[in-house]
Structure 1
Amino acid sequence: MREKIHIYHTNDVHSHFEKWPRIRKFLKERKALHEANGEDVFIFDCGDFVDRWHSFTEGTLGKGNVELLNDAGYTAVTLGNNEGLTLPHDVLNHLYDEAEFDVLAANLYLPGGTRPSWALPYQIYKTSKGTKIGVTAATAYYRPLYKLLGWELSEPLSELENQIAELQKQADIIIVLSHLGMHDDQKIAENNPRVDLILGGHTHHVFMNGKKVNHTTLCAAGRYGEYIGYIEGEVDTKNFNASLFETAVLDSPPNAAEYIKDLDEIGKDLLQTEVVTLPEPLDYSWLEQSDLPAILCEALYKWCKADCALINSGLILSALEKGVVTKYDLHRMLPHPINPCVVELSGAELQEVLVKAEESGLSELEFQGLGFRGVMMGKFVYHDIEYGKDGRSIKIAGAPLVREKIYHLATLDMFTFGVFLPPIKNARSKIYYLPEFVRDLMEWELKQRYK
């Protein structure tokens, strides 16, 4: 009788726990079914399972997410940029202390070139019939940002080639857990024909029935737990049939709503630390001038010690009432894992940024991603920038903009990653501030104003 294995995979769940009760139920039931039939089951996550936009993740600093993965019976996970770049060094270093699964991250190092004890370059799993399944993994190459947090990254494609070469000597089947994105996964398959499966993520792409590249099958399950990936593999023939289960049509456990609510309540309870007491309420608007976006923009300006500052008002998702403000209130208002950034622009480039911000209709754009967890971009808000209606009479710190002068603009890291404001994305110099999020700057500023 031919040996059959079953592989389930998720990626880019981003703490979207509204889908989790169905995912959990499905994985537990399927695992029990296969094991009852004497067949081996492996469950993998390809990164960005942790996302601090959710109060449960924020309150537990990701350790609650690890408990969920334990409970669902995962075999191994890899890091996404949300695990790697939104947690301070010591927090990430202890995130998986209670993990009952392996953490694979071949290209993550400590300064000096040693590996963290919890991050394995690969692992070999042996089936009940003795087949050796070698699994390695790599995360997206944001090396300068990791460096700011006290980590080192090796270039992922060359690192994976080294690990795959080692696995070729030891394993019958080779699997890569990739948080590199669709295009890099294609390159891995083209350059490493001995790889059998690449389970992908990062770019939130979907392969409904996998994608064959030479010998290798590429798999991906979208984002936010919308799909669960499944591969049925015949070991002897190395025939892998990939498919996706749509989570929305799976059976929901009877207590799903209560389960989801409980996670939020746990986070809320953990975030009840008092930050400040407000003598008056502070409002917000995405389309008009309002209190909270202006306060945040000034906080960014002062924190970064820049010449001027720019944010989008869509960052603010709730008002603050008069009275006690807690960390939960600030998290609800600013859930985004977005960091401060300073970019160096010429006056001409800064003028181009402001014209696009004011006159391109960008403020009405609805989007999510790049750390932004809101609804729409919203009106752009400035500090020490005056924008004339004709786009020409611009003042920086009260003085007319000089096109040849170099300015330091405090802004959001998402504008350096996205295509919204090209001069910022292409800036000659970028300084990132990690691990502070914009909500940390808001807390700092409110404490200064309302001691």
Structure 2
Amino acid sequence: MRKIIHIYHTNDLHSHLENWPRIVRFLQERRRLHEQAGEHVFVFDLGDHADRSHPMTEGSLGKRNVDLLNEVGCDAATIGNNEGITLPKEGLDHLYDHASFPIVLANLFHPNGERPKWALPSIVLTLAHDVKIGLTGATAFFSSAYEQLGWKLTPPVEELQKQSAKLKEQADILVILSHLGIYDDERIGREIPDADVVLGAHTHHLLHEGKEVNGTLLAAAGKFGYYVGHVTIEWDTEQKQVVHKQARVYKTSEDLEAPLNEQQQIQEYLDEGKQALNQPVVRLGESLTSEWFAPSPLPTLLCEGLREWCGADCAMLNAGVVLEGLQAGTVTKYDIHRVLPHPINPCLVELQGDELKEVLKQTLDDRLTHLAIKGLGFRGKVMGQFVYDRIDLDMESYSVKIDGQEIDPDKVYKLATLDMFAYGQFFPEIYRAPKKTHFMPEFLRDVMEWKLLHLRSHLS
């Protein structure tokens, strides 16, 4: 006799809630149909469901995303780096207070080595005929960021190996919830032969029909809710083994039917976030405009605030990071979030004068100015021209001054900038810099709010 087990999986939604109503309808309907047929069905989320670029996520610090997973009938989840390192420690520690599903996470600890109460290294799900599914999971190894927030992160594949060895003695089928990326998923297939299925995330890879590595089925459903993944496992109750497994994906825009009130739901998510963030911050006597390809006051103000926040000698940022201007009148937290929705942290980089000069020279390249950016926390469209504070450039004469003084090639300068330049390879000198300080969990919008409040107090 064969038993059919259905696993539906979502990952890297990043609060693209415009796709969520269809996903909810689809998963609830599929669960009903499978259960009517006497088949087992599970729904797992693989992390980065929450992204603070959406006002509802920002306004609830991700807790409303957990409500949405409750609504869809999620059976288990692991966390992504958006849950892990864009929330303050207390925020993550209470994110799942009202979750109706377990969080399976093997590689996160408090500094004293204790696991968070809400994180289970593994679980075992018992089905009919005493078939047992073992689940373990892990998140991407951004160890320094987690440590700065007050967590301890351990190497994920090694933790999964430990948990898999235990589950081998307890379960018939081993499924791994991975927010590690395709390359680590392939490594799991090579190094954890007992794993039957790896459900993948983090690198936003899409495997239309899965991929087999050393007998392990890898499955992944892309990003932003554009797809929903579906793995089918056939278990032979007499042979007591998996006899077949396959993976596929459903395209949300084509394969999933929209509920009648889809647009209303999407708008309600946005309105809820606006209401939560409708908190006055400051009153502006005049508008502060923002231009991506010309000098404008709001990016200039943010750049000045960035230098002051970081205690730096100078600062630079790209104007494209400021999506819009601020109108005269009352400015709310929602307004600042709308202007700066990115989960980008301030970063202080120490560079020698000759290195800093080379970086600044690169910022004048028109190709960089018009570059469309994806990833690295950036939620805008293009880089935009660069904005500077206490930096004077005259590249015709190849002159660079820092705070009015000609740059000293041997002196070490403290440059305040965006952490995406520390992670990405836009500027090799910054990427390779041995000394970088990331300010966490504050985002650019926290700097902007601080600067606006400081400006008000200064004017008064």
1:330 aligns with 2:336: yes
1:144 aligns with 2:144: yes
Q: Is the Cα–Cα contact under 8 Å of residues 355 and 391 in structure 1 kept in the other structure?
A: no
Cα distance in 1 for residues equivalent to 2:51 and 2:129: 38
Matched to 1:379, the amino acid is Q
Find the residue that maps to 1:404 and give its secondary structure.
coil
Give the gaps of 5 or more residues in structure 2.
237-241
Q: Is the Cα–Cα contact under 8 Å of residues 8 and 230 in structure 1 kept in the other structure?
A: yes
2:450 maps to 444
1:315 maps to 321
1:246 maps to 251
1:65 maps to 65
Matched to 1:369, the amino acid is G
Percent of paired sites with the same residue: 50
1:223-302 paired onto structure 2 within 5 Å:
223-236=223-236, 237-249=242-254, 250-302=256-308
Superposed CA deviations along residues 373-404 of structure 1, whole A, max 9, x for unmatched, are 11111111111111113372111111111222
Cα distance in 1 for residues equivalent to 2:128 and 2:363: 60
Q: Is the Cα–Cα contact under 8 Å of residues 277 and 332 in structure 2 kept in the other structure?
A: yes
Find the residue that maps to 1:386 and give its secondary structure.
strand
Normalization by structure 2: what TM-score? 0.97
Displacement after TM superposition at 1:360 (Å): 5.3
Cα distance in 1 for residues equivalent to 2:259 and 2:141: 38
Superposed CA deviations along residues 304-344 of structure 1, whole A, max 9, x for unmatched, are 00111111111111111111000000000000011011111
Matched to 1:307, the amino acid is D
1:127-142 paired onto structure 2 within 5 Å:
127-142=127-142
Superposed CA deviations along residues 340-393 of structure 1, whole A, max 9, x for unmatched, are 111111112112211211125111011221111111111111111111133721
2:80 maps to 80
1:435 maps to 441
Superposed CA deviations along residues 139-162 of structure 1, whole A, max 9, x for unmatched, are 111111111111110111111111
2:413 maps to 407
2:12 maps to 12
Cα distance in 1 for residues equivalent to 2:164 and 2:355: 45
Cα distance in 1 for residues equivalent to 2:368 and 2:443: 23
1:38 aligns with 2:44: no
Displacement after TM superposition at 1:83 (Å): 0.2
1:419 maps to 425
1:378 maps to 384
Cα distance in 1 for residues equivalent to 2:380 and 2:69: 26
1:169-248 paired onto structure 2 within 5 Å:
169-236=169-236, 237-248=242-253
Displacement after TM superposition at 1:193 (Å): 0.8
1:355 aligns with 2:361: yes
Find the residue that maps to 1:241 and give its secondary structure.
strand
Matched to 1:319, the amino acid is G
- Which 10-residue stretch deviates more, 178-187 or 400-409? 400-409
Q: Is the Cα–Cα contact under 8 Å of residues 44 and 77 in structure 1 kept in the other structure?
A: yes
Q: Is the Cα–Cα contact under 8 Å of residues 361 and 395 in structure 2 kept in the other structure?
A: no
2:112 maps to 112
Find the residue that maps to 2:128 and give its secondary structure.
coil
Normalization by structure 1: what TM-score? 0.99
1:394 maps to 400
Cα distance in 1 for residues equivalent to 2:243 and 2:425: 42
Cα distance in 1 for residues equivalent to 2:321 and 2:305: 14
Cα distance in 2 for residues equivalent to 1:129 and 1:271: 50
Cα distance in 2 for residues equivalent to 1:168 and 1:387: 63
Cα distance in 2 for residues equivalent to 1:263 and 1:315: 24
Matched to 1:421, the amino acid is F
Displacement after TM superposition at 1:421 (Å): 1.4
1:342 maps to 348
Find the residue that maps to 1:358 and give its secondary structure.
coil
Cα distance in 2 for residues equivalent to 1:261 and 1:279: 31
Displacement after TM superposition at 1:238 (Å): 3.8
- Which 10-residue stretch deviates more, 400-409 or 69-78? 400-409
Displacement after TM superposition at 1:201 (Å): 0.7
Q: Is the Cα–Cα contact under 8 Å of residues 344 and 430 in structure 1 kept in the other structure?
A: yes
Matched to 1:14, the amino acid is H
Cα distance in 2 for residues equivalent to 1:184 and 1:25: 32
Superposed CA deviations along residues 67-97 of structure 1, whole A, max 9, x for unmatched, are 0000000111111000000111111111100
Find the residue that maps to 1:374 and give its secondary structure.
coil
Matched to 1:297, the amino acid is C
Cα distance in 1 for residues equivalent to 2:47 and 2:396: 46
Find the residue that maps to 1:309 and give its secondary structure.
strand
Q: Is the Cα–Cα contact under 8 Å of residues 80 and 202 in structure 2 kept in the other structure?
A: yes
Q: 1:118 to 1:238 in 2, by over 3 A?
A: farther
Superposed CA deviations along residues 162-204 of structure 1, whole A, max 9, x for unmatched, are 1111111111111111111111111111111110111111111
Q: Is the Cα–Cα contact under 8 Å of residues 8 and 44 in structure 1 kept in the other structure?
A: yes
Displacement after TM superposition at 1:405 (Å): 1.5
- Which 10-residue stretch deviates more, 44-53 or 397-406? 397-406
Number of residue pairs matched by the alignment: 451
Find the residue that maps to 2:119 and give its secondary structure.
coil
Root-mean-square deviation (CA, aligned residues, Å) is 1.0
